[in-house]
Amino acid sequence: MIAIVQYNAGNTGSVQNALARLGCESIVTDDSNELLKADKVIFPGVGEARSAMSFLREKGLDVVLKSLNQPLLGICLGLQLMCSYSEEGETACLGVFPNRISRFVKPEIVPHVGWNNVSYREDRLFKEIPQDTDFYFVHSFFADLSEDTAAVCNYGESFSAALARDNFYAVQFHPEKSAAMGQQILKNFLAL
C-alpha cells in the first residue's frame, strides 16, 4: 500500500491521480498507524512551511515521518520540510536532510514557475531519465546544496532539485505534473 501524507498542504489529489495512472492504489491519510504500515510513503505539498510544520507537530507526524524505514518521497514543500530549517516563517523543520531552505534573492524571478532542466548524480530515483531532462517547478524557496544533493537545477543560482539518503528521497519539482519523465520518477520510486 502507498500512503500519501495528508497535512493540509495541497496537491494530494494530483499525486493520487498520477499513481492511479500507473495502476497503483493509494490512500491519503494523516493517521500515524497507516503511515507506519504503508509499503511506501509520499509526502507532497503546496503551501507554507510554518503552518504545515505546525500541523505535522500537532498530529505527531513530525516524529513519525523521521522514523520511517520504508521509502519516503517528499515533493516540493515536502522536500523543504524534510530539511533542517526554512527561512519561510523562520521554521525549524524535520531535519532529515541538513539543508537550509532560502528564498530566491532576485524578486523578478520569484516564484520559479515552469519547466527547467535537472542534472543528477547516479541514483535509483533517476533510472532511465536522460541527463538535463526538464521537470515542472512551482516554488519561491529552495534547498541549498549538500552531500545529500542528488540532482541540481539552476534558476538564478544552483539549488537542490532532489535529495537522497538511505530510504529518504525528495524532489523540488512536481513529478505528478512533469509528463512522461515525471511518471518515470514515480515508477522508479515505486520500484524501490
Q: How far is CA 163 from CA 30, 32, 122, 125, in A?
A: 23, 24, 12, 10
**What pTM did the predictor assign?**
0.97
pLDDT at 108: 72
Range of the domain at 145: 2-190
pLDDT along the chain (192 residues), means of 10: 91 95 96 98 94 96 97 98 97 98 85 96 95 97 98 95 98 98 98 96
- Total domains present in the chain: 1
139 belongs to the catalytic site:
no
174 belongs to the catalytic site:
yes
Set 24, 25, 76, 122: catalytic member:
76
CATH of the domain at 18: 3.40.50.880
pLDDT tens-place string over residues 101-140: 999 987 677 899 999 999 999 999 999 999 999 999 999 9
Q: How far is CA 15 from CA 69, 87, 98, 170, in A?
A: 21, 26, 26, 14
pLDDT at 107: 66
pLDDT at 8: 79
